[in-house]
Structure 1
């Protein structure tokens, strides 16, 4: 197989390496001969532990002329990609398959720019391509099914797992994860600190890196650009970019590479800041009754008041209604297996119920009395987006789960989480946030509403 790769940034170099390591004849090209030579030298240096043979081409046309597959991994701007595609078409290779590594731009629009949309497909690799197992295969509206199947087979030959996706802004992983980032940013604007948010996500959801630390790592400029694309393409308030991130970008505080983003890296490592907020359980002989409540119904409120009249009671819930209806002296937590969010909010008059965390023997992090708290707010919003992706036919539930587990290292896929948690609980959480915030970003997908209705019957 003969493969050409355009663009010798980190992604292009990694893609060229994985094809070469799989036995393909690989040629690379960049904006000019000097840039190509510099990128090629770095590619060879990075592959020193597993040497590869990769040739260079003097131009896009030279690279494409004999290739079976041309992978473009150049800058994420459509006008630049369009110029490349026009050069590719002029090369005259009628059998060439053109694959874009774009993470958000339209494959259909690229197919039109190329002039033969049947032969243009998305192959979205994840960073670093040499290690990440996932490849999103994106079919444009006019991509030939045989070309989609070829792309899937090529990804499989690289030892990757391919998931199929219809041409839709941000595809699967970046689309489904949008609420995780949006809600984290909104929590900061509502008074939570980045270390507290990330500590909860790692402790309660088992993510290897919190969303705000991850945004700083990948760069706020990239995130803001993809957010603007999603908002422009969907025209839905759910995808509004968060103003705080725009302010950080305008100030030049764009993440870890800049020394400051959601974290100030001159003050220490994010993990150290997060660890300082985690309270380990202590031995306790406290007599406390913990009442689990999915919602905050009249029945729930009456039960908690009755329990509170005869002793110490702590509500285990993430529903925002408890901010108004928690009895005086009662505590509020949300328990996630071996971890708990403990509501500590002097403004709302709620003191931290660490006695409940001690009685359960779980680590905890203090949070504010906001609808959904942190973990459920993020996870229920993410699940709702995943259900929407399935509902509209962009991807199957199986591929969504695979994509999030392999592309983001989430311990469980969002639809698997929905199966385990139950549609009624997720729907109740979303409706509680919709009532509490009055923001349409929390409106539930109709497929989720139907699933909840079905589970009640």
Structure 2
């Protein structure tokens, strides 16, 4: 079916942005709103942004004026929709309001007209019941700002015809955007799969982790353009809370329950950047928050000689880096009863491949007895507690964690985990070593699996749940997260690079520590590990390598 005339209902930020994109792409556009003043402002804004494209060299002045001429503001719904091929609804996110509109459109639109709702989380199948032609009803979730963001989620309702899907795929591609096909399900792809990322950031904030450290780890360690709490402040905490409540109501699964800190912030009017306060404060309407960060200006211990205990790529790689940074480095495949490096090592790194706490406890107990009295002991694993290892070694003030998340990303970033009794000079020493390596670091109190894994891996796990339920293809899930949130990898691509077995181990560690259903591993993840489909390292995971 050929689409020539498009009606946009709603002239807010999304409606006006979608109208602009449609007009620039050659469609005749009618834009309707019940608010005449807002409609006038939207029409002027569309013209302004189209003309701005001339200044940027995106189009000629003649092309811009032709696009502007294709936009027709309408104060009457019947006038706007009576001869259209496609209606894109972009009104408030309220089921009853949308259904009331679709009943009106059912009486107005020609028989062939397709209705596309720009809903971000509501049931497309339910909305379609208000339109007498459910086979011509589909979800078309654009992302904000619509002229910039390349992704459109196309949501197939229970009765959506394949012809409708095919037509909308053609329209989206004509708009210069990338469609992904989604089965009707709460929150669709992006808002569903990314929700654990935001939940984990909020839970860490409730646990007392500084919000700037959470966001900093996400940017530095995972390559996200914005940290999850920064992004929530930008997009607004109230919409996030509402969509979380939708997910909980629709799924009935406690893993979707909103995190209390967000409910508290919303009730207090801390709605994000526009309100001047959210997870951060924005003084005098500033767009960037002012963030004080704790400093460790204590004198670090003098470290010239170091030892690395372990075998394999992890231990060898760390020893190589330390040697290149100028440290007198000894690599010890096994630990004898002799002190590392003849007792001269001021810092000893555990880099063994075991994930067994008892094995590492035994190692640290031995290190505590044979190392020089002032030597700092370091665990490089995200699974072991510096607090526990400090206790068993008898060196609670001198034991610390130093973890490089996702080294395949080449982010040159370490997470430093402080035990309950780790002293400030030990932290300062770890920071000094990281600086000597040419890396960046964030130091914070220890937590299971550290920050980056705790943010990214539950999102991977939810993507696996979505894939196993047939929500969308692996390719579309990954494309949606990369284009919708500007992530460097899709979650299933991330899983293959990290290792499916590592994903399972992290989810099990989080579930064991917190006892929360949020961390229930996907059965698909368990099955892939049992089948030996571990990702890139075995040649097969979510993709074939």
TM-score normalised by L of structure 1 = 0.93
Change (3 A) 1:424 1:43: same
Residue 35 of structure 1: how far off its partner (Å): 3.5
CA RMSD of aligned residues (A): 2.4
1:108 matched to which residue of 2?
125
- Find the aligned partners of 2:91 and 2:236 in 1 and give their Cα distance: 17
* Aligned residue among 53, 58, 65 for 2:82: 65
- Find the aligned partners of 1:455 and 1:126 in 2 and give their Cα distance: 37
Write the mapping of 1:210-225 to structure 2, written as runs, cut at 5 A.
Answer: 210-225=227-242
Change (3 A) 1:90 1:180: same
1:333 matched to which residue of 2?
402
1:190 matched to which residue of 2?
207
- Find the aligned partners of 2:76 and 2:356 in 1 and give their Cα distance: 65
Contact 1:227–1:239 under 8 Å retained in 2: yes
- Find the aligned partners of 1:342 and 1:443 in 2 and give their Cα distance: 27
225-234 vs 269-278, which moves further? 269-278
Change (3 A) 1:160 1:76: same
Matched position secondary structure for 2:153:
strand
Query: Is 1:246 aligned to 2:246, yes or no?
Result: no
Change (3 A) 1:222 1:320: farther
2:473 matched to which residue of 1?
396
417-426 vs 48-57, which moves further? 48-57
1:291 matched to which residue of 2?
350
- Find the aligned partners of 1:163 and 1:200 in 2 and give their Cα distance: 29
Contact 2:399–2:422 under 8 Å retained in 1: no
Q: Deviations over 1:5-36 (max 9, x none)?
A: 01111111111111111101111001144442
1:157 matched to which residue of 2?
174
Query: Is 1:372 aligned to 2:449, yes or no?
Result: yes
Change (3 A) 1:256 1:456: closer
Query: Is 1:313 aligned to 2:331, yes or no?
Result: no
2:34 matched to which residue of 1?
31
* Aligned residue among 417, 429, 435 for 1:343: 417
- Find the aligned partners of 2:6 and 2:303 in 1 and give their Cα distance: 64
Write the mapping of 1:27-176 to structure 2, written as runs, cut at 5 A.
Answer: 27-50=30-53, 51=64, 52-53=67-68, 54-176=71-193
- Find the aligned partners of 2:81 and 2:349 in 1 and give their Cα distance: 66
- Find the aligned partners of 1:303 and 1:354 in 2 and give their Cα distance: 24
Change (3 A) 1:323 1:377: farther
Contact 1:215–1:223 under 8 Å retained in 2: yes
- Find the aligned partners of 1:64 and 1:331 in 2 and give their Cα distance: 65
Matched position secondary structure for 2:233:
helix
Matched position secondary structure for 2:181:
strand
Matched position secondary structure for 1:165:
strand
Residue 383 of structure 1: how far off its partner (Å): 0.5
Change (3 A) 1:21 1:300: same
* Aligned residue among 412, 416, 419 for 2:493: 416
Change (3 A) 1:294 1:396: farther
Q: Deviations over 1:289-336 (max 9, x none)?
A: 433457443233334444554444311122265543443333212113
- Find the aligned partners of 2:292 and 2:440 in 1 and give their Cα distance: 13
Q: Which runs of 5+ in 1 are unaligned?
A: none
* Aligned residue among 506, 519, 528 for 1:451: 528
Contact 1:391–1:447 under 8 Å retained in 2: yes
Change (3 A) 1:136 1:358: same
Contact 2:225–2:486 under 8 Å retained in 1: yes
Contact 1:284–1:359 under 8 Å retained in 2: no
Contact 1:284–1:358 under 8 Å retained in 2: no
TM-score normalised by L of structure 2 = 0.79
Change (3 A) 1:140 1:322: farther
